[in-house]
Structure 1
Amino acid sequence: MSEFFGIKGKTFQRQYKNNLSEYHSWGQKSHAKDWIIYPENLSESLSLDEVALSDGELYTVLTSKRAKGRKGSIVAIIKGTQSDFVIAHLLKISRRLRMKVNEISLDIAGSMKRIAKTCFPCAAQVIDRFHVQKLALEALQEIRIKHRWEAIEMENNALAKAYGDQILKTEVFENGDSRKQLLARSRYLLYKSREKWTLSQRQRASVLFTHYPDLEKAYWLTDSLRKIYNQHITKSVAMTKLAHWFKNVEEADFTSFSTLRKTIMQHYRDILNYFDKRSTNAAAESFNAKIKNFRMQLRGVKDRTFFLFRLTKLFA
């Protein structure tokens, strides 16, 4: 809409920014590009994550779970992910308030763990389940992609051997996919549990696993890890189930899954903390999605400080 009640859109934007919004009297305006902090929004349970505000520029975002993605969510937004810089600004929050935090959800990144440990020493760190499952899915997809490149190379070699205008006869499986198509189109079904497959995905999976049994084994490893998280079990039971999963990974002997197993073992205690209260970083992911949606509505971020001001008006 180019005009609103007879006022041009751009004119109204300038009026809002310069006169109506209190932007120029905002107390954090001078340093907003580097950091903004709202200590009053601190709660016992927090989420720590990173988000790209504009042009891929990363910011570390600390949010309160108590606010559930609404007003009062933002505790801090700090430029970059460099731990020393983030820590220096989070320590501006009084120690008395920081010591009241008893749980903080985060991903596996070492910098995030260091930030949490230094700034919130009394808080139990909970590795977000979805980051662990994402690594398992990436390990599975790595095996599928390797087979797909092999299929592309097979097709290239067959074409190179074909003579003149001779039409190459392509191998087609019973569901109508060629080998290359089968491996490309199986991407999405491998992300889902068997119960959520459509009829065509069940048919495709049957063909895929018949011709690539290693993919079936890798899918089973991914799905069994997902099921451990989905069960309402105690931490001790989760320890036992993860021990069995580790044994299955060793027997499968996939490089990508062996690396994942080592990663889980490195962060074992914080991953198991999930089973105490089943806390996730879903609030942070939801907040990040809201930031992206807000950015899309504004058609990008031209003035980062003003964008952060408007963001805090909504969520701080």
Structure 2
Amino acid sequence: MVNSTTEDVSIKENLGYDAVTGIISRRTDAEVKWDEIKRIDIIGTDEISLKKGHKDFVTIVTSLTEGETVILAVPGDRKKETVKKFLKTIPKRLRKTIRGVCSDMYEGFINAAKEVFGKRMKIIADRFHVAKLYRKDFDGLRKKEMRRLKKELSEEEYGKLKGAMRALRKKEEKLSDEEKEVLKRLFGHSPVLELAYDFCKELTDIFEEDISKSEAKRKIRIWKIRVGANGLDCFDNFLKTLKKRNSEIINYFAGRQTSGFAEGLNNKIKVIKRRCYGITNIENLFRRIFLDLKGYSLFAS
């Protein structure tokens, strides 16, 4: 696969394309050099698709050390055993420096970290993936209610609800007067949607608060009880995940650590893929990520 950036360098420096790729291969490693890493602090695990249509997923393992994102590995697929195999290669001296592992809700990543590092390791469920789950449940109710209202309301009245989806996804303080009016009209037709909307906001507010793990655990438990007492079943899928991954979700409040650094790197990788017209070789992908993160500081004159 021809890389557009490499091809540009080849033309500008009057070097053959293969010569440029050879230089990259010789000057950069295809895997992490542990002897150059002093500590790890926080590990982030995420996944990215190498092909369109969410195909050929690979795992991206990174660390956040003193505010700097470091690529640790592109171990291949996202199977638990694959991730586990890599985590076992982390030297003992560096394992002692790990303060936590941030992950989305994928069981393969969470279980791999637990099996390698043991019960004492703090596994943190990324709060934005948590929010994605309960908002997805709410969105399911929204779609259901909008279908009902489309059947029951006149065409004129239903037309006045235009823009409701956008308004529901906005923060309350960013709503325009027009959007507030749309929501008022919508909730007049669907009190259950207003109730679920308020519960969503309440849970988000809990995650925004600077509170301890014990206080967060108490507030989330009360939230769950109140959801049940109000007869809301739209959050059932989220509540199942909450029951199963309560510890990992609550661990967020210990240091308010997210895997935002891993997600940010994912955005860089997407740019790299577009720039290179796709990358399917994971060794080359590791090299490109490494160069994007460290290349300038290491090789710029």
Which residue in 2 is equivalent to 1:240? 218
Which residue in 1 is equivalent to 2:19? 19
Residue 109 of structure 1: how far off its partner (Å): 1.7
Which residue in 2 is equivalent to 1:172? 156
Which residue in 2 is equivalent to 1:105? 102
1:191 equivalent to 2:175? Answer no
**Contact 1:37 1:77 survives alignment (8 Å):** no
Mapped partners of 1:78, 1:314: distance in 2: 18
1:249 equivalent to 2:227? Answer yes
Residue 237 of structure 1: how far off its partner (Å): 1.5
Normalising by the residue count of structure 1, what TM-score does the alignment of the two structures yield? 0.79
Which residue in 2 is equivalent to 1:203? 181
Which residue in 2 is equivalent to 1:92? 89
Normalising by the residue count of structure 2, what TM-score does the alignment of the two structures yield? 0.82
Structure (1 or 2) with the larger CA radius of gyration: 1
Mapped partners of 2:121, 2:236: distance in 1: 30
2:134 is matched by which residue type in structure 1? A
Mapped partners of 1:17, 1:311: distance in 2: 20
**Contact 2:145 2:193 survives alignment (8 Å):** no
Alignment RMSD (CA, Å)? 2.8
Alignment partner of 1:103: what SS? Answer: strand
Moved more, 200-209 or 248-257: 248-257
> Quick one: structure 1 residues 306 and 235, their matched pair in 2 at CA, closer, same or farther if it must change by over 3 Å?
closer
Alignment partner of 1:108: what SS? Answer: coil
Mapped partners of 2:129, 2:100: distance in 1: 17
> Quick one: structure 1 residues 37 and 54, their matched pair in 2 at CA, closer, same or farther if it must change by over 3 Å?
farther
Residue 123 of structure 1: how far off its partner (Å): 2.5
> Quick one: structure 1 residues 16 and 98, their matched pair in 2 at CA, closer, same or farther if it must change by over 3 Å?
farther
Structure 2: gaps (5+ residues): 1-6, 295-301
Deviations 1:277-296 (A, max 9, x none): 11111111111111112223
Alignment partner of 2:206: what SS? Answer: helix
Which residue in 2 is equivalent to 1:297? 275
Deviations 1:56-88 (A, max 9, x none): 321111111126465xx1011121111112212
Mapped partners of 2:221, 2:25: distance in 1: 57
Alignment partner of 1:280: what SS? Answer: coil
Q: How many residues are aligned here? A: 281
Alignment partner of 1:105: what SS? Answer: strand
Q: Which of 78, 84, 94 matches 2:75?
A: 78
> Quick one: structure 1 residues 276 and 10, their matched pair in 2 at CA, closer, same or farther if it must change by over 3 Å?
closer
1:274 equivalent to 2:286? Answer no
Residue 212 of structure 1: how far off its partner (Å): 0.9
Mapped partners of 1:150, 1:237: distance in 2: 39
Alignment partner of 1:172: what SS? Answer: helix
**Contact 1:68 1:283 survives alignment (8 Å):** no
Mapped partners of 2:125, 2:210: distance in 1: 17
Which residue in 1 is equivalent to 2:144? 146
**Contact 1:78 1:86 survives alignment (8 Å):** yes
Mapped partners of 1:304, 1:117: distance in 2: 25
Structure 1: gaps (5+ residues): 1-7, 30-35, 159-169
